[in-house]
Structure 1
Amino acid sequence: MAKRALPLSRVYGLLEPGPVVLLSTMHKDQANVMTMSWHTMMEFEPPLVGCVVSGHDFSFTALKATRQCVLNIPTVELAKKVVACGNTSGQQVDKFEAFGLTAAPAALVDAPLIAECYANLECRVVDTRLVNRYNFFVLEVLKAWIDPACKDPRTLHHRGRGAFMVAGETIRLPSKMR
């Protein structure tokens, strides 16, 4: 089989870490949403999630100052809104209003849940040692919410440069994990 070289700028599309999420924050009475696909599970219990938030993003300042956020997990039905949030700065636009997203109160953090998302993870920042060097935050999930009516969520997975895959078929194989 003949293979060809892949530009290094496209490697992230091969290692896509999971579903695209909408990270919501609240800072100085201003709610914001940013689209994020750079995250990874780090621990099971308590659940720890590592994520990269660019220092150029409006959400970076809020996350660094408040040390809390919500990771909202959308399904394919929200794809256009997810992309629109990612292509817009919260510095100029109220994304909740502009894209018809509903801010719902969280139980343990000030940042809002996004009601239209099938799952919401209330988080606090527990480690910032890699923020200055890599913009990498470690979040602890404090409370998780899920819509029980959404049985087989079709989540979005960013492949790069405007390309997304949609989660599809589920297969079950033997596992010793609980």
Structure 2
Amino acid sequence: MRPFPGGTSVYCVPPKMKSRLRLRSGSMKVGVGIAKQRHSHGLIQQEREFVVNVLTPELLPAARVCGSRSGRDGDKFAASGLTATPGAAVRAVLIEECPVNLECRVVQELDLDERTWFLGEVLHVHRTTGFEPEQLLYCGREAYRVIGERVRPR
């Protein structure tokens, strides 16, 4: 396994996706917008794949560590205490602690000046047995929420 091929990113999931997590892999598309100066942007463009790692509130401190530094400058897994694990369908690694991981292959790119919107076909879905979908974390404008509740970082 190459170190962090493709894009391995920690993402919050928009509320509408919660119902889509029940769909089978291959029947769902996921989009992520990545600023062009980000290290993950170049990796996703080169490898044509990425993983969406869906968070729970307990993982928010680790996510903030990952979001505060570039993968160009060091190992985010070591810094955050998260565990990298190989994917089933892509070379990008998954975050073992996340209850849902979506392995995606890029099927379309949309250039939006300062960022690129990558549309990925979900090739494989990893779901932790017994996880509660209402505890999945999503964000918007630096606000993290579970359904009906704002979650603040520690």
Q: TM-score by structure 2 length?
A: 0.77
Q: Match for 1:66 among 33, 47, 51?
A: 47
Give per-residue Cα distances to partners, 1:115-143, cap 9 Å, x unaligned.
00000111000112x13645111100001
Q: Which amino acid aligns with 1:150?
A: F
Alignment of 1:95 onto 2:68: no
Give secondary structure in 2 for the equivalent of 1:30.
Answer: coil
Residue identity matched to 2:71: G
Letter in 2 for 1:30: P
* Shift of residue 49, structure 1, vs aligned partner: 1.3
Aligned length: 139
Q: Is the 8 A contact 2:53 2:102 kept in 1?
A: yes
Deviation by residue 1:63-115 (Cα, 9 ceiling, x = unmatched): 00000111111100101111111111111121011111111111110001110
For the aligned residue pairs, the C-alpha RMSD in angstroms reads 2.7
2:3 aligned to which of 30, 50, 74: 30
Unaligned runs of 5+ in 2: 150-154
Mark the structure with the bigger radius of gyration.
Answer: 1
Inter-partner Cα distance in structure 2 for 1:116 and 1:35 = 11
Q: Which structure 2 residues correspond to residues 1-178 of structure 1 after superposition, within 5 A? A: 29-31=2-4, 33-37=8-12, 46-128=27-109, 130-131=110-111, 133=113, 134-160=115-141, 162-167=142-147
Supply the distance in 2 between the matched residues of 1:57 and 1:112 (Cα, whole angstroms).
18
Q: Work out whether residues 13 and 139 of structure 2, in 8 Å CA contact, stay in contact via their aligned partners in 1.
A: no
Which whole-Å CA distance do the structure 1 matches of 2:143 and 2:96 have between them? 25
Q: 1:105 to 1:33 in 2, by over 3 A?
A: closer
Structure 1 residue runs of 4 or more that deviate by more than 6 Å after TM superposition: 38-41
Identity %: 35
Mark the runs of 5 or more structure 1 residues left unpaired by the alignment: 1-25, 170-178
Q: How high is the TM-score relative to the length of structure 1?
A: 0.68
Does the 8 A contact of 1:33 with 1:85 survive in 2? no
CA shift, 1:57, in A, is 0.7
